[in-house]
Amino acid sequence: MTVTFDTDMPDKIRFAIVGYGNIGRRHAEHIQHNSSTELVAVCDINPAVKELIPGIAFYTRLEDMLAAGNADVLCICTPNYLHEPHTIAGLQAGLHTVVEKPMALSVAECDRMIAAANSAGKIIFAVKQNRYNPPVQAVKELITGNGLGHTYMIQVNCFWNRGDAYYAESNWRGKKDKDGGCLFTQFSHFVDIMYYLNGRITSAEGWVHNFAHRHNTEVEDTGSFVLKGINDSIINFNFTTCSYEKNMEGSITLFGEKGTVKIGGQYLNTIEYQQLKDATLPLINISAKANNYGLYQGSMSNHDKLIQNVVDVLHHGKPIMTSAEDGREVVNIIQMMYAGAIKV
Ligand SMILES: NC(=O)c1ccc[n+]([C@@H]2O[C@H](COP(=O)([O-])OP(=O)(O)OC[C@H]3O[C@@H](n4cnc5c(N)ncnc54)[C@H](O)[C@@H]3O)[C@@H](O)[C@H]2O)c1
């Protein structure tokens, strides 16, 4: 992990946000609640957003917000296909950037973003807030301390529901070139936690199909993959957005030499099963902390912790929780999965 800090940062780090939809509003809330950060500007192409942020400078064009030059960090909360141009624009204007998941829609885009960060001498923070989930942290510590031994097999289950209202809410969702598919938009968190706990993958093959969303999406809604981990583990990765009427499960089960552990619940929020040789994990069951967007429920709500990580890095030189290289690796795995998929 890169360790860095920025001596030019003011005591209150000034944030700007581009894209003030579901997740942009979540960033704003946590920036405004953190005593070391303030929200100074918001940009959204929807002029109605201005009414939602009284007292905050509002722009409909990103270049105008960047030209005003009053922010230190830009949060990129626009649709997936805009992450690359908006991140590069922020970096070139001299801002550190926090880019929502997925980092971008291809490795080539991620590489251009990383090159722009390097030449600007600024940081890209990739958003992967599920790393902060207490069950994920407990299993990460177990693995780091060699408490699982060699990992033999992993089962990842992502069984969520995304209905018509979700796709009607925003015109980029479900579009191949703007959204990219379920592995980018819904399940990149699970790809990230698989990678965070077990490392890179060396091959991927599987099947995808659009069963129930053909009338409003251009991408698959269901898939099943077998991946090979760099440590020779065999990984089953199953996903669907067709779980009837509501999210059912978001889980990762690891079968290792020294034990079996399942991080479960709907969004990696519980330790659902453990049988371990040398350790006992705390019984974690956090039920009330999902990001609730009204029409649908997402991942665990940890954006307060990611804003705090930006402060810790820029003020105190602490490690970045999820680097641009991590964000790129998640995109690389997703790209490998889609390249290895047969459409059925
Ligand atoms: N970390 C998480 O758990 C999480 C959860 C939800 C969404 N996301 C990610 O956040 C991003 C946004 O998702 P969302 O659900 O908030 O989408 P959304 O459609 O609700 O919001 C997107 C906003 O961006 C604005 N916008 C579009 N083009 C713009 C442009 N050129 N300039 C300025 N503003 C523009 C739209 O008007 C809209 O207000 C996506 O990349 C998504 O994958 C992450």
- Amino acid 289: pLDDT: 65
Cα-Cα-Cα-Cα dihedral of 238, 150, 284, 244, to 10°?
A: 10
- Amino acid 301: pLDDT: 77
Report the candidate in 154, 90, 91, 80 with the shortest Cα–Cα distance to residue 120.
Answer: 91
- Amino acid 341: pLDDT: 98
Q: Which atom of ligand 1 is nearest to the CA of 80?
A: 41
Nearest-Å Rg of the Cα atoms of the chain is: 20
User: Which stretch of 37-46, 66-75, 300-309 has the lowest confidence by average pLDDT?
Assistant: 300-309
- Ligand 1 contact, 42 CB (< 6 A): no
- Ligand 1 contact, 130 CB (< 6 A): no
Report the candidate in 20, 109, 21, 7 with the shortest Cα–Cα distance to residue 324.
Answer: 109
- Ligand 1 contact, 341 CB (< 6 A): no
Q: Average pLDDT, stretch 23-43?
A: 98
Burial 248-273 (b: 16+ CB within 10 A, else e): ebbbbbbbbebbebbbbbbbbbbbbe
Q: In this model, does residue 176 exceed pLDDT 70?
A: yes
Q: In this model, does residue 198 exceed pLDDT 90?
A: yes
DSSP string, 142-195: HHHTTSS-SEEEEEEEEE-B--HHHHHH-TTTT-TTTT--HHHHTSHHHHHHHH
Q: Which atom of ligand 1 is nearest to the CA of 299?
A: 3
Sort 11 into a burial class: Cβ within 10 Å, 0-12 / 13-18 / 19+.
Answer: exposed
pLDDT tens per residue across span 272-311: 999 999 999 998 888 756 667 777 766 777 999 999 999 9
Give the residue whose CA is nearest to atom 33 of ligand 1: 44
Neighbours of 159 (CB within 10 A): 19
> Are the beta carbons of 188 and 156 closer than 8 angstroms?
no
> Are the beta carbons of 156 and 194 closer than 8 angstroms?
yes
pLDDT band, very low/low/confident/very high, at 11 (cuts 50, 70, 90):
very high
- Ligand 1 contact, 43 CB (< 6 A): yes
- Amino acid 288: pLDDT: 58
Q: Average pLDDT, stretch 257-269?
A: 95
- Ligand 1 contact, 292 CB (< 6 A): no
Q: Average pLDDT, stretch 324-340?
A: 98
Q: Average pLDDT, stretch 83-96?
A: 98
Give the residue whose CA is nearest to atom 6 of ligand 1: 23
pLDDT band, very low/low/confident/very high, at 132 (cuts 50, 70, 90):
very high
Pocket test for ligand 1, best of 64, 74, 78, 132 (most atoms within 8 A of CB): 78
Q: In this model, does residue 1 exceed pLDDT 50?
A: no
- Ligand 1 contact, 188 CB (< 6 A): no
Q: In this model, does residue 2 exceed pLDDT 70?
A: no
pLDDT band, very low/low/confident/very high, at 51 (cuts 50, 70, 90):
very high
Considering the chain, what is the average pLDDT of its residues? 95
Q: In this model, does residue 4 exceed pLDDT 50?
A: yes
Please name each of the domains of the chain with its CATH number: 13-129 (3.40.50.720), 134-299 (3.30.360.10)
User: Which stretch of 145-149, 218-222, 284-288 has the lowest confidence by average pLDDT?
Assistant: 284-288
Q: In this model, does residue 5 exceed pLDDT 80?
A: no
Report the candidate in 136, 131, 114 with the shortest Cα–Cα distance to residue 123.
Answer: 114
Q: Distance between CA atoms of 170 and 268, rounded to whole angstroms?
A: 26
Q: Distance between CA atoms of 293 and 92, rounded to whole angstroms?
A: 32
- Ligand 1 contact, 13 CB (< 6 A): no
- Amino acid 286: pLDDT: 83
Pocket test for ligand 1, best of 42, 64, 66, 77 (most atoms within 8 A of CB): 77
